[in-house]
Each structure stands twice: as structure tokens, then as C-alpha cells.
Structure 1
Amino acid sequence: MHLALMVMEIVAPVFLLAGIGFAWVKLGFEYRIQFVTQLAMTLSVPCLIFVSLMQTEIDPAALTALSFAAVAAYLAVSLVAAVLTRLGRLDRRTYMAPLIFGNTGNLGLPLALFAFGETGLSYAVVVFAIMAIWSFTFGIWLVAGAGSFGKVLREPLVWGTLLGALFLWQDWQTPLFLTNTLKLIGQMAIPMMLITLGVAVARLSPGGVMQAAILSLVKLVICVAIAWGAALAFDLDRIAFGVLVLQVATPVAVTSYLLAEKYGADSQAVAGLVVVSTLMSVGALPLLLAVLL
């Protein structure tokens, strides 16, 4: 009973904030999702990542092990997704990216924070950054048929991660006034992304519910199994283990829908995956947390 209450205390704020965004749209209020997303990804999230890494007291060796584990996990998930799309005769441009990339930002970061504290958040931003870089390169190639290395170099979250890692490695600190400013900007990120997640889900029109449900369940099982195996292989500590499994197991990212819409893939099929996998996560993630805690 105590464990169930603890898990509910962790996941409730996440889904309540997403619910606010969902209700906001359904009540007919305006929400400029493109502006809020740009603000979060260009300013708030990079500040959150930079300060989290700069101020972390985690052993750099532990962060390195987590980084290698995350890279290995996403490479393995990508290979399995390629096999599944081929065996299932699914359109690669439509289905492969959603099977690989999870909602590690909007959902994964706050869950890691609430479940594992500031240490968990520091670990989670590393996994998030690795997923984002893979998404902006391989993910865009999958959907658009062209690489986008230049876009990676223009992403503030990538530079926030690299600078944060540099400051962590050199044990540098920004002046206190600047640190406090960056911290305030970063604190906007999690509630803003969760509300935006609810808004985005509310505006999607799911299609092919049965196929979406099957693929969402398959994605969840595969991602948990692979992340669990990678965490064991790299001998991660308890918190890093939990964060990696939790991040990789997050539901289909809303960005997968946006990429499908932009580059002419079947965006309605992806929308169905986003909605169904997110609804499935309402039950799946608390159960996963109960095992990991």
C-alpha cells in the first residue's frame, strides 16, 4: 500500500499537468503550441540541462557509463525497430521513428525528477540529450530521407549538454547571479512541457486504434527489455538503472507526429500511436516505477 501511494505521488503531478493542457484546449482557450515548444527547446530545456549537469555531484565515471548504456540501448532499439517494420511490412518512414523515440523530454524528465530526485534528473538529461541527437540525425533521415547534421549543430540543447559536460568535467561554476538566472529559466521547462504534452494530445486525431495499441505494447516491451539489458551490461547504479529504463520506455514522442506531418509520412497513423501509447503509459509507467523503486 505504501509503495502504491508513493508511485501515485510521483506520477500524479505529471498526468495532472498534462491534464491541464488537455482541458485547456477542450475548453476552447488559445494555446500557441509552436511558440511554447520553441521557447522550451531553444531556451528553457538547454538551461535546465546545463545547470543540472554543472551542479551535479555525480561521479563523472557514472555519467559516462550511463551515456554508453543509453547509446547502446538506442542502437539496439533502432535495429529491432528496423526488423519489426520489415517483418510487419510497415512503412518505414511512418512507423520506424515512433517505435524508436520516446517522450523523454515532456514525460521522462519530470518522472525522473519526481521518482529519483535531483540526481535522477541529472541522469535523465543525459539520456534525453542522447535521444534528441539521435532523433535530429537518424530520425529525420528515416522520415525525410536526408541527414541533418547541420541541424544538430544549431540545436541549443546540444550545446547546453556539451557545455554542461565541460563545466562538470572541469569543475567550473558560473557566477551566482547567472546560475540563479539560468536555474529560473530552466525551472519553466518541466511544467511547460507537460502542459504542452496535454495540449498536443488533445489536438491529435487518432486512427487505426487496434494497430496502434498492438505496436504501442510491442514498443513498451522491447524498450523495457533492451534498456534493462543495457543497464545490467554497463553495471549501472540503482538510480541510473531506473532512469535509463524509465526514459527508454516512455511513450511515442509528439515530435514523431510533427516530423511525419512536415515530411509527408502518414501523420494520422503516428497520431494514433502518440495518443494510444500515452494513454497506455498511464497504467504502464506506474507499474514500471513500482518495480524500479
Structure 2
Amino acid sequence: MNLILTVLEIVAPVFLVAALGFGWVKLGFEYRIQFVTQLGVNVAVPCLIFTSLMKSQAEPGTLLSLTLAGLAAYGAITLVGWGLMCAAGLDLRTYLAPFIFGNTGNLGLPLALFAFGQSGLEHGIVILALTAILSFTLGLWLVAGKGSARRILREPMVWATLLGALFLWQGWETPDFLTDTIGLIGQMAIPLMLLTLGVAVARLTPGGVVTAVWLSVAKLILCTALGWGIGLTFGLTGVAFGVLVLQMATPVGISSYLLAEKFNADSASVAGFAVVSTLVSVVGLPIILAILL
């Protein structure tokens, strides 16, 4: 009973805030998702990443091991996903990128924070940054037939990660007034991401429901298993292991839908995949957390 209550205490704030965004749109209130997303991705999240890494108490070696494990996990998921799509006769441009890249930002970071505290947030940021870099290269190539190294260099999240890692490595800190300012801005990130997640799901129109259901279940099971296996292979323990598994298990990110829409893939099917996988995660992620805890 105590374990169930602990898991509910972790997941309830995440899904309740997302439900607030969902309900806000369904009640007909305005929510400028493009503005909020730009504010979050270009300002709030980079501030959160930088301050979290700069003040991190984690060993740099542990974060490096987590990064390498994350790369290996994404590589394994890509290969397994490719094989699954080919065996099922599914369109690779439509389904493979959403299968690979989970919602490590809007959903993964809050879960890592509530499940493992500040240390979980710091480790979760590593996987988020890795996801962002791979999405702009491998993800773009899978959907559009081309990657974008230049796009990476224009992303504030990437520079925030590099600067945060440098400050952590050198033991530097910004002046207190600047740290407090950046930290205050960064505190917007998680509520904004959760509200936006709910709004985005509310505005999606599900398509290809039957395919979305079995593929969502397969994604949850396979990505969790691969994250677990890679974590053990790389000798990760404690928070690093838990965050890797949790981040790999997150449902389809809304960014996958936006990519499909932009590059004329089957965006309706991706929308269905995103909605159904998010619903599946409402059941699946608490079970995974219960096992991890």
C-alpha cells in the first residue's frame, strides 16, 4: 500500500497539471501553444538545464556514463524499431521516429524530478539534451530524408547543456544574482511543459487507432526492456539507472507529430500514435516506477 501511494504521489502532479492544460482547451479558452512552446524551448528549459548542471552534485563520470548509455539505448531502439516496422509493413517515415523518441521533456523531466528529486532532474536533463540532438539529426533524416547539423548549433538547449557541463567540470558558478535570475526563469519550464502537453494532446485528432494501440504497447514494453538492459550493461545504478529506464519508456513526443506535419508524412497516424501512447503511459509508467522504486 505504501508503494502504491508513493507512486501515485509521483505521477499525480504530472498528469493533473497536464489534465489542466487539456481541460483548458476543451473549455474553449485560448492557449497560444506556439508562443508558449518557443518561450519554454528557447528560454525556460535552457535556463533550467544550465542551472541544474552547474549546481549538480552528480559526478561528471556518472553523467558521462549515462550519456553513453543513452546513445546505446537509442541505437538499440532504432534497430529494433526498424525491424518491427519492416515486419509489420508500416511506413518508416511515419512511425519510426515517433517509436524511437519519447517525450523526455514535457513528461520525462517532471517524472524524473518527482520520482528521484533534484538528482533525478539533473540526470533527466542529460537524456533530454541527447534526445534533442538526435531528433535534429537522425529524427529529421528519418522523416524528411535529411539531417540538420546547423539546426543543432542554433538550439539554446544544446548550448545550455554544453555551458552547464563546462561549469560543472571546472567547478565554476555564476554570481548569486545571476544564478537566482536564471533559476527563477528555469522554474517556469516544468509547469509550462506539462500544460503544453495537455493542450497538444487535446488538439490532436487520433488516426489509425488499431495500429496505434498495439504499437504503443510494443513501444512501452520494448523501450523499457532495452533501457533496462543497456543500463545494466553500462553498470548504471540508483538514480542514473532509474532515469534512463524512465526516459526511454516515455510515450511519443508531440514534436514527432510536428515533424510529420511539416514534412508531409502521415501526420494523422502520428497524432493517433501520440495520443494512444500517452494514454497507455498513464497505466504503464506507474507500473515501471513501482518496479524501479
Common fold by TM > 0.5: yes
Q: Please name the residue that 1:206 is paired with.
A: 206
1:230 corresponds to: 230
Q: Tell me the alpha carbon deviations over residues 52-100 of structure 1, each in whole angstroms, 9 at most, x when there is no partner.
A: 0000011111111111111100011111111112121111110100110
Q: Which residue of 2 aligns with 1:164?
A: 164
The 1-side partners of 2:84 and 2:93 are apart by 13
The one-letter code sitting in structure 1 at the alignment partner of 2:70 is A
- Matched residue SS, 1:205: coil
Matches within 5 A, 1:181-192: 181-192=181-192
Distance 2:63 2:22 in 1: 35
Partner of 1:290: 290
| Deviation of the 1:51 alpha carbon | 0.5
TM-score scaled to structure 1, two decimals? 0.99
Mapped partners of 2:237, 2:182: distance in 1: 29
RMSD: 0.6
Aligned-residue sequence identity (percent) comes to 65
User: What is the CA–CA distance in structure 1 between the aligned matches of 2:64 and 2:96, rounded to whole Å?
Assistant: 28
Aligned residue pairs, count = 293
Residue 150 (structure 1) aligns with: 150
Specify the alignment match of 2:85 in structure 1. 85
Q: Work out the CA distance in 2 between the residues paired with 1:250 and 1:147.
A: 23
State the 1:205 CA deviation.
0.5
- Residues 265-287 of structure 1: per-residue CA shift (max 9 Å, x gap): 00000000000000011110001
Q: What does the per-residue CA deviation read over 1:4-48, in whole Å, with 9 as the maximum and x for residues that have no partner?
A: 001000000000000000000000000010110111000100110
The answer to whether the aligner puts 1:49 opposite 2:49 as a matched pair is yes
Structure-1 residue corresponding to 2:109: 109
| Superposition deviation, residue 2 in structure 1 | 0.4
Residues 233-272 of structure 1 aligned to structure 2 (within 5 Å):
233-272=233-272
Note the C-alpha offset of 1:115: 0.3
Take 1:130 and 1:57, find their aligned partners in 2: how far apart are those partners? 20
**One-letter code of the match for 1:178?**
L
Partner Cα separation in structure 2 for residue 256 and residue 120 of structure 1: 25
Aligned to 1:221: 221
Q: Which residue of 2 aligns with 1:179?
A: 179
Q: TM-score normalised to the size of structure 2?
A: 0.99
| Residue 157 of structure 1, CA deviation | 0.1
C-alpha distance in 2 between matches for 1:207 and 1:7:
31
| Structure 1 outlier segments of 4+, above 4 Å | none
